[in-house]
């Protein structure tokens, strides 16, 4: 295979969490093409298992899909914050749960064809549900669900969010190796 080379990158729009670019690319055959690129500052997520053995999930409205989704808690990285700290903070803010232990589960890129969004996903035991600390534009319902039920929801296409599907399947594998 030949080499690719980016000749230029033009910013088209800067949003709150992403930047939209057109990249002018030199292709291996010598031709040039314009490719879309979305720059993302990264996010982190957490699979939290509570004292009852249920997974702490959040139900929230997603504008891109025009519907509610059931997801693991996740969110963007704050300046100066590492991924694990961000994952724990997002879990605490969105659910009020506190993390007892944290382990790296998997690392995913959500849409490799045109976006560099990376989401390291952590997992662990959680406890002591307290008050949520949501942003003014966040409306999140906490839902606690057994892992097997969540796997069934994936198989029935009721959970389709890439980070959540990846995380839950990886966590199921992690749990089977752990026991």
Domains and CATH numbers, the chain: 5-40 (no CATH), 43-178 (3.90.79.10)
Interhelix angle for 147-155 vs 162-178, to 10°? 130
Q: Tokens standing for 106? A: 């998997």
Q: Tokens standing for 82? A: 């590492």
CB neighbour list of residue 155: distance below 8 Å, 6 or more residues apart: none
| Residues tagged active-site | 136
Please check the confidence at residue 23 and state whether its pLDDT lies above 70. Answer: yes
- pLDDT tens, residue by residue, 127-169: 987 777 677 777 888 999 999 999 999 999 999 999 999 999 9
- pLDDT tens, residue by residue, 44-81: 999 999 999 999 999 999 988 999 999 999 999 998 99
CB neighbour list of residue 112: distance below 8 Å, 6 or more residues apart: none
- Report the candidate in 105, 50, 59, 51 with the shortest Cα–Cα distance to residue 83: 105
């Amino acid at each position: 295979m030949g080499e690719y080379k980016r000749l230029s990158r033009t910013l088209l729009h800067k949003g709150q969490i992403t930047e939209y670019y057109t990249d002018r690319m030199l292709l291996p055959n010598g031709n040039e093409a314009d490719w879309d690129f979305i720059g993302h500052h990264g996010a982190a997520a957490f699979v939290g298992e509570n004292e009852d053995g249920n997974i702490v999930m959040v139900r929230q409205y997603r504008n891109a899909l025009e519907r509610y989704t059931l997801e693991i808690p996740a969110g963007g990285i704050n300046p100066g914050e590492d991924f694990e700290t961000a994952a724990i903070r997002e879990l605490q803010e969105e659910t009020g749960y506190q993390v007892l232990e944290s382990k790296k589960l998997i690392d995913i890129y959500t849409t490799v064809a045109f976006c560099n969004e990376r989401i390291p996903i952590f997992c662990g035991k959680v406890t002591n549900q307290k008050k949520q600390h949501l942003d003014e534009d966040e409306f999140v319902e906490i839902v606690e669900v057994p892992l097997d039920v969540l796997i069934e929801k994936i198989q029935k296409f009721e959970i389709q969010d890439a980070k959540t599907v990846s995380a839950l399947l990886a966590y199921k594998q992690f749990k089977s190796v752990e026991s």
